[in-house]
Amino acid sequence: MPPSPVEPPARRTPRSTRRRLLSVAVVCSLSWIGIGIAFGNLDEDTVKAGFLYNFAQFSEWPKSFSSTDPFTLCVEDGSLSPSVVRGLAEEEINGNRLSSKIVPSPVRQGDILACDLLFVGDSAPNAETIVGWARLSPTLLVSDREGFARQGGHIELFRANRNLRFRVNLRTLQTSGVTISSKVLRLAEIVQ
């Protein structure tokens, strides 16, 4: 019996590259295919957390993170399920440990200064106030509050039928110093 041919070992994609590819796939699929009850068995909070993770993964901050600095993702108390927020803490953002933190509601100025990304709900002060506070520190501001992007917030998650989409306010985002990948911006509804 002839010897079986030896196949070369499969090329392995580095873990960080696989994670990025998965993140791009998630952003694309969530943005174009849609979510909601029709999107498997994921609940809305889990999908929103996926969006937050991807926004963080595909953004750059003007400050540089050392390899020991955690990336701090903050969520206003009551705006997402605590178990979903805790689940985010098991992830990494561009090689840095992700630290998830629930901040008291309503959000205060001091809370924003400790966050790299902040998700706020309906009970937070108006978007103009939050954006003003965030100017003291480069914090990416995301909310599912209706009109958040038009009022000056950076990213607004919204429902279109049974799909979850997002709007980006480019003007206030540029002022913040945080830069979002053009791959993500192509999927967004842009607010001027």
- Averaged pLDDT in 10-residue chunks for the chain of 192 residues: 43 41 44 40 85 94 78 93 88 90 89 92 77 85 93 92 91 91 94 86
pLDDT at 41: 56
Give dist(CA 100, CA 38) in Å, integer. 28
The pLDDT score that the predictor gives to residue 4 is 43
pLDDT of residue 34: 42
Other Cβ atoms within 10 Å of 23 Cβ, number: 18
b/e map of 146-159 (b: 16 or more CB within 10 Å)? eebbebbbbbbbbe
For CA atoms 131, 48, 192, 28, the dihedral sign is positive
Residue 99: how many CB atoms within 10 A of its CB? 17
Helix or strand (DSSP H, E) at 13 = none
Nearest to 77 by CA among 56, 107, 117, 50: 107
